[in-house]
């Protein structure tokens, strides 16, 4: 059986496990496939890691011990496990049968790791936002690593099969073994040289280096999609190693939260946030999670999205075009050129582009590449009333298409991309040809556009503004750097993680967002010099997930994952407005209106965030016997990822006692000091420092 066929079969069998329909024969076949090759073992571990720890345990359904404020262990209540329980049972069965304990995707060779006793192993994956330290797993031949200072599970505390699975799947020090450091440093050095040359030419002094607290908050927001927990901040601040920033980047890239975060980002870019009855968002997110987790090359992912066929619930990649094949595929034409090429072709739909040499015929030549695709909606008796599923099909149709100019003339457009004609005969799949041509050449626009977008994600501004309007009319601010990174990205095989490493290890990314000169290039509309990391607001997803991370509000009366995700999506929808134009555009409105400010400050989510219920961060903190100064320190670490300054500490101590005293006078009865901590936490969570990526 070919490798690709084996992987498809393995994924289908693992789907059956998740859906509780796997038979004993299926389990035996999974074992055989997993043992057949290192790649199959990686697929297996990645799948269970994603679907186990990410989806089910994130809702608080598995009973594991987590550290409290005082560092003591507390066991979460167990809920009904449902699919999670089936998955845990499957994981336990397969771990016992398969008998392997290590794999590294960045290193195709397998290393043998000695299995650890069950009572001493705990997973280094986030459990409701609180990471639990791993046991001493190490690669064969690798010297033992000194234990890190985190709350360890005691022998009497439970360990589940998913914990053991995740524990076994990752080497203890990924940064030291998984990345060819010489190749990374070569690219990083060249990035720094090019930027420093521009700073000298422009007579610009860069901002000082960001301190560890500012940097760790930033990198968690951009890689994991949330702020770090108190435990994660303290661990990083206490780390004295000189290369701890590079190590953390590598560790986060290997974590399931990176795959989830980038899947969320690209789901919004590909299909938006507005509900679409034809789109299966869950299937699309699953496809993206698996792709980013496996570090699939970017050009292959784009080819999947452009050339997909099949039902949206079975082929997640098909959802992209299904969402945009209305209106003669005009939205598909526009969003494909914007997202993947950084070019706004939609301006030429009705007339020649007003600012560059793109002609109307260029738009329709590109549009003709989508004319073989169609959406078929299926309704079956087995589906719930009114339910349907869409299927993306490819029709073997050939020939040109026709379009009308502003003066009423009908013209013809043959399939063509970037000056290259595509055979218009019916047997040629135009979308596959498009995917192939987009990734061809030494410096394809596909690579340039992705580098520009990813640079903007981490630095707060791209080489062009806007990101998706590149061309002679909008030249990049640093053309040599953009060309260099694009060429290296192609040379790497479109390796997304490698590109992220280059950016995150560059001098520019180490800089503070605070510049002594105080000038704001972005607000002034001038080209970015990247003398600092530019401040921008959190996205709605970052804000929600950061509030939950800081407060652990979801631990009060934990519900299953489906209910928690539905609640999250309902909250996010408050900030989305569909523009209902020809390009299916929408906009995020998290922009600071009075209504939004009141909702954020006084809404249900904030009320839950300030809950004193057992299990929440604030509830555990106010019950702790530590001093006021220690509690304030932990509040600041939770909300701002940094300890308070001496001046802030004094003011916060006064606020806590004054707030409680004021409420006591108002209500005419004694008020516990907890009320003061609630007021302080409310102020921190509603501050600009919390809501900004800086």
Residue 535, pLDDT above cutoff 90: yes
Residue 207, pLDDT above cutoff 50: yes
Which residues in 527-559 are b (16+ Cβ under 10 Å) and which e? bbbbbbbbeeebbbbbbbbbbbbbbbbbbeebe
Please tell me whether residues 335 and 365 are part of one structural domain.
Answer: yes
Choose the weakest-confidence range: 394-408, 459-473, 669-683: 669-683
* Cα distances (angstroms) measured from residue 54 to each of 46, 134, 562: 11, 17, 12
Using CB atoms within 10 Å of the CB of residue 616, give its burial: 0 to 12 exposed, 13 to 18 middle, 19+ buried.
buried
pLDDT at 1: 63
DSSP code string of 202-258: HT-PPPPBPPHHHHHHHHHHHHTSSPPPHHHHHHHHH---TTHHHHHHHHHHTSHHH
Residue 28, pLDDT above cutoff 60: yes
pLDDT at 504: 98
Please tell me whether residues 451 and 435 are part of one structural domain.
Answer: no
* Distance from C-alpha of 291 to C-alpha of 304, rounded to nearest angstrom: 10
* Residues in the chain, overall count: 694
Please tell me whether residues 498 and 477 are part of one structural domain.
Answer: yes
Portion of the chain with pLDDT greater than 90, in percent: 41
Choose the weakest-confidence range: 202-206, 278-282, 406-410: 406-410
**Longest C-alpha distance within the chain, in Å?**
85
Residue 183, both tokens = 């190749």
* Contact yes or no for 565/559 (Cβ under 8 A): no
* Distance from C-alpha of 685 to C-alpha of 546, rounded to nearest angstrom: 10
* Distance from C-alpha of 351 to C-alpha of 433, rounded to nearest angstrom: 26
Indicate the DSSP class of residue 83. Answer: H
Indicate the DSSP class of residue 399. Answer: S
Residues 6+ apart with CB under 8 A from 10: 30, 33, 34, 40, 43, 44
Q: Does residue 233 lie within any of the structural domains?
A: yes
* pLDDT 10s digits, 94-137: 443 333 333 333 333 323 333 333 333 233 333 333 333 333 33
Model confidence band, residue 379 (pLDDT cutoffs 50, 70, 90): confident
* Distance from C-alpha of 111 to C-alpha of 109, rounded to nearest angstrom: 7
What H or E segment, with its residue span, contains residue 651? helix 646-667
* Contact yes or no for 685/550 (Cβ under 8 A): yes
pLDDT at 78: 32
Q: Does residue 602 lie within any of the structural domains?
A: yes
* Distance from C-alpha of 548 to C-alpha of 539, rounded to nearest angstrom: 14
Residue 440, pLDDT above cutoff 80: yes
Please tell me whether residues 269 and 327 are part of one structural domain.
Answer: yes
Q: Does residue 92 lie within any of the structural domains?
A: no
Model confidence band, residue 66 (pLDDT cutoffs 50, 70, 90): very low
Q: Does residue 317 lie within any of the structural domains?
A: yes
Q: Which domain holds residue 480?
A: 185-254+445-534
Model confidence band, residue 243 (pLDDT cutoffs 50, 70, 90): very high
The mean pLDDT value for 614-618 works out to 85
Task: Please identify, among 395, 414, 439, the residue that sits at the C-terminal boundary of a domain.
Answer: 439
Angle, helix 83-98 to helix 3-18, in steps of 10 degrees: 130
Task: Please identify, among 383, 417, 439, the residue that sits at the C-terminal boundary of a domain.
Answer: 439
In terms of average pLDDT, the best of 12-26, 285-299, 582-596 is: 285-299
Residue 685, both tokens = 């969570």
Task: Please identify, among 391, 407, 439, the residue that sits at the C-terminal boundary of a domain.
Answer: 439
Please tell me whether residues 545 and 631 are part of one structural domain.
Answer: yes
Choose the weakest-confidence range: 63-67, 192-196, 410-414: 63-67
* Distance from C-alpha of 144 to C-alpha of 615, rounded to nearest angstrom: 35
* Contact yes or no for 530/195 (Cβ under 8 A): yes
Using CB atoms within 10 Å of the CB of residue 420, give its burial: 0 to 12 exposed, 13 to 18 middle, 19+ buried.
exposed
* Contact yes or no for 337/345 (Cβ under 8 A): yes
pLDDT at 274: 81
| Mean pLDDT over the full length of the chain | 76
Please tell me whether residues 523 and 571 are part of one structural domain.
Answer: no
Portion of the chain with pLDDT greater than 70, in percent: 68
pLDDT at 555: 59
Choose the weakest-confidence range: 145-154, 440-449, 466-475: 145-154
In terms of average pLDDT, the best of 38-52, 246-260, 556-570 is: 246-260
In terms of average pLDDT, the best of 612-616, 636-640, 672-676, 687-691 is: 636-640
Residue 309, pLDDT above cutoff 90: yes
Q: Does residue 235 lie within any of the structural domains?
A: yes
The mean pLDDT value for 18-22 works out to 70
Please tell me whether residues 223 and 355 are part of one structural domain.
Answer: no
Residue 123, both tokens = 């997973």
Tell me the three state secondary structure of residue 377. strand
Residues 6+ apart with CB under 8 A from 440: none
* Distance from C-alpha of 677 to C-alpha of 663, rounded to nearest angstrom: 13
Choose the weakest-confidence range: 45-49, 148-152, 410-414: 148-152
* Contact yes or no for 491/361 (Cβ under 8 A): no
Indicate the DSSP class of residue 534. Answer: P
DSSP code string of 87-116: HHHHHHHHHHHH-----BTTB-S----PPP
Model confidence band, residue 197 (pLDDT cutoffs 50, 70, 90): very high
Q: Does residue 274 lie within any of the structural domains?
A: yes
Residue 65, both tokens = 């011990």
pLDDT at 519: 67
Residue 353, pLDDT above cutoff 90: no
pLDDT at 129: 36
Q: Does residue 358 lie within any of the structural domains?
A: yes
pLDDT at 92: 41
Residue 302, pLDDT above cutoff 90: yes
Residue recorded with tokens 């209500």: 667
* Distance from C-alpha of 22 to C-alpha of 14, rounded to nearest angstrom: 8
Please tell me whether residues 304 and 353 are part of one structural domain.
Answer: yes
* Distance from C-alpha of 636 to C-alpha of 650, rounded to nearest angstrom: 13
Please tell me whether residues 496 and 556 are part of one structural domain.
Answer: no
Residue 582, pLDDT above cutoff 70: no
> Which residue from 637, 650, 619, 639 is spatially nearest to 687, judged by alpha carbons?
639
Please tell me whether residues 678 and 555 are part of one structural domain.
Answer: yes
Model confidence band, residue 384 (pLDDT cutoffs 50, 70, 90): low
> Which residue from 225, 215, 282, 232 is spatially nearest to 259, judged by alpha carbons?
225
* For residue 561, cis peptide bond before it (omega within 30 degrees of 0): no
Which residues in 55-91 are b (16+ Cβ under 10 Å) and which e? bbbbbbbbebbbbbbeeebeebeebebebbbbbbebb
The mean pLDDT value for 27-53 works out to 71
Using CB atoms within 10 Å of the CB of residue 564, give its burial: 0 to 12 exposed, 13 to 18 middle, 19+ buried.
middle
Distance spanning both ends of the chain, measured CA to CA = 50
Model confidence band, residue 210 (pLDDT cutoffs 50, 70, 90): very high
The mean pLDDT value for 550-558 works out to 67
Question: How many domains does the chain divide into?
Answer: 4
Residue 153, pLDDT above cutoff 50: no
Choose the weakest-confidence range: 320-329, 431-440, 559-568, 571-580: 571-580
Please tell me whether residues 200 and 277 are part of one structural domain.
Answer: no
pLDDT at 517: 76
Tell me the three state secondary structure of residue 265. helix
What H or E segment, with its residue span, contains residue 567? helix 561-572
SS (H, E, C) 493-521: CCCHHHHHHHHHHCHHHHECCCCCCCCCH
* pLDDT 10s digits, 587-597: 555 555 444 55
The mean pLDDT value for 133-159 works out to 33
* Distance from C-alpha of 445 to C-alpha of 261, rounded to nearest angstrom: 25
* Distance from C-alpha of 472 to C-alpha of 467, rounded to nearest angstrom: 14
In terms of average pLDDT, the best of 16-30, 280-294, 346-360, 368-382 is: 280-294
pLDDT at 134: 32
Strand segments (E) across 242-383: 310-311, 373-378
Question: CB count, 10 Å around CB of 580?
Answer: 9
Radius of gyration for the alpha carbons in the chain, expressed in angstroms and rounded: 26
* pLDDT 10s digits, 37-49: 777 776 776 666 5
CA angle 677, 678, 681 (to 5 degrees): 85
The mean pLDDT value for 160-183 works out to 42
Give start and end residues of each alpha helix (H) in 398-556. Answer: 430-438, 445-459, 479-491, 496-505, 507-510, 521-524, 540-551
> Which residue from 456, 460, 478, 462 is spatially nearest to 534, judged by alpha carbons?
460
Question: CB count, 10 Å around CB of 161?
Answer: 21
* Contact yes or no for 14/91 (Cβ under 8 A): no
Please tell me whether residues 242 and 360 are part of one structural domain.
Answer: no
Residue 552, both tokens = 């652990």
Residue 506, pLDDT above cutoff 60: yes
Q: What is the pTM of this model?
A: 0.76
Question: Bigger pLDDT: 346 or 17?
Answer: 17
Q: Does residue 559 lie within any of the structural domains?
A: yes
């Amino acid at each position: 059986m070919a490798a690709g066929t084996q992987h498809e079969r393995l994924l289908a069998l693992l789907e059956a496990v998740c859906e509780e329909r796997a038979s004993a024969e299926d389990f035996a076949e999974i074992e055989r496939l997993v043992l057949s090759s290192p790649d199959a073992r990686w697929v297996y571990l990645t799948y269970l890691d994603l679907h186990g720890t990410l989806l089910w345990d994130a809702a608080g359904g598995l009973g594991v011990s987590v550290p409290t404020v005082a560092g003591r262990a507390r066991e979460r209540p167990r809920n009904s496990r449902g699919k999670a329980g089936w998955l845990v049972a499957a994981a336990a069965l397969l771990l016992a049968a398969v008998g392997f304990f290590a794999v590294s995707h960045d290193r195709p060779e397998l290393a043998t790791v000695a299995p650890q006793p069950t009572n001493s192993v705990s997973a280094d994956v986030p459990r409701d936002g609180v990471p639990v330290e791993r046991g001493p797993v190490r690669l064969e031949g690798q010297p033992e690593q000194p234990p890190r200072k985190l709350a360890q599970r005691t022998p009497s505390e439970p360990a589940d099969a998913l914990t053991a699975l995740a524990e076994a799947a990752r080497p203890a020090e990924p940064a030291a073994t998984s990345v060819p450091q010489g190749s990374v440093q070569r690219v990083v050095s060249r990035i720094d040289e090019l930027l420093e040359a521009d700073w000298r030419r422009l007579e610009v002094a860069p901002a000082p280096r960001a301190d560890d607290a500012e940097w760790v908050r930033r990198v968690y927001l951009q890689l994991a999609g949330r702020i770090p927990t108190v435990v994660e901040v303290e661990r990083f601040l206490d780390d004295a190693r000189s290369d701890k920033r590079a190590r953390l980047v590598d560790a986060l890239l290997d974590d399931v939260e990176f795959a989830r975060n980038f899947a969320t980002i690209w789901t919004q870019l590909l299909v938006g946030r507005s509900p679409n009855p034809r789109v299966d968002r869950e299937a699309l997110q699953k496809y993206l999670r698996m792709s980013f987790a496996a570090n699939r090359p970017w050009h292959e992912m784009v080819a999947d999205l452009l050339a997909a066929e099949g039902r949206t619930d079975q082929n997640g990649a098909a959802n992209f075009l299904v969402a945009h094949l209305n209106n003669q595929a005009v939205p598909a034409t526009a969003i494909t050129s914007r997202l993947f090429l950084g070019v706004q072709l939609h301006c030429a739909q009705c007339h020649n582009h007003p600012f560059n040499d793109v002609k109307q015929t260029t738009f329709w030549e590109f549009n003709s590449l989508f004319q073989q695709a169609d959406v078929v909606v299926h309704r079956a008796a087995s589906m719930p009333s009114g339910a349907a599923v869409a299927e993306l099909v490819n029709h073997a149709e050939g020939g040109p298409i026709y379009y009308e100019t502003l003066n009423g003339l009908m013209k013809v457009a043959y399939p063509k991309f970037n000056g290259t004609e595509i055979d218009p005969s019916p047997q040629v799949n135009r979308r596959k040809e498009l995917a192939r041509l987009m990734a061809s050449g030494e410096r394809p626009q596909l690579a340039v556009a992705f580098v520009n977008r990813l640079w903007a994600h981490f630095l707060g501004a791209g080489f062009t503004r806007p990101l998706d309007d590149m061309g002679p009319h909008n030249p990049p601010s640093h053309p040599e750097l953009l060309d260099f990174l694009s060429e290296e990205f192609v040379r790497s095989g479109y390796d997304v993680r490698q590109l992220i490493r280059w950016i995150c290890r560059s001098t520019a990314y180490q800089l503070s967002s605070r510049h002594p000169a105080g000038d704001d290039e972005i607000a002034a509309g001038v080209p970015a010099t990247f003398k600092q990391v530019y401040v921008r607001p959190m996205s709605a997803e970052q804000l929600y997930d950061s509030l939950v991370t800081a407060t652990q509000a979801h631990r009060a009366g934990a519900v299953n994952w489906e209910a928690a995700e539905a609640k999250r999506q309902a909250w996010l929808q408050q900030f989305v407005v569909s523009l209902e134009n020809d390009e299916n555009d929408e906009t995020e409105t998290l922009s600071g209106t009075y209504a939004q400010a009141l909702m954020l400050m006084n809404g249900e989510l904030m009320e839950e965030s300030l809950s004193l219920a057992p299990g929440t961060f604030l509830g555990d903190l106010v019950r702790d016997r530590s001093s006021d100064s220690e509690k304030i320190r932990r509040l600041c670490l939770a909300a701002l990822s940094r300890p308070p300054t001496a001046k802030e500490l004094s003011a916060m101590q006064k606020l806590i006692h004054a707030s409680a005293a004021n409420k006591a006078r108002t209500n005419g009865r004694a008020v516990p000091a907890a009320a003061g901590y609630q007021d302080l936490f409310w102020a921190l969570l509603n501050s600009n420092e919390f809501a900004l990526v800086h």
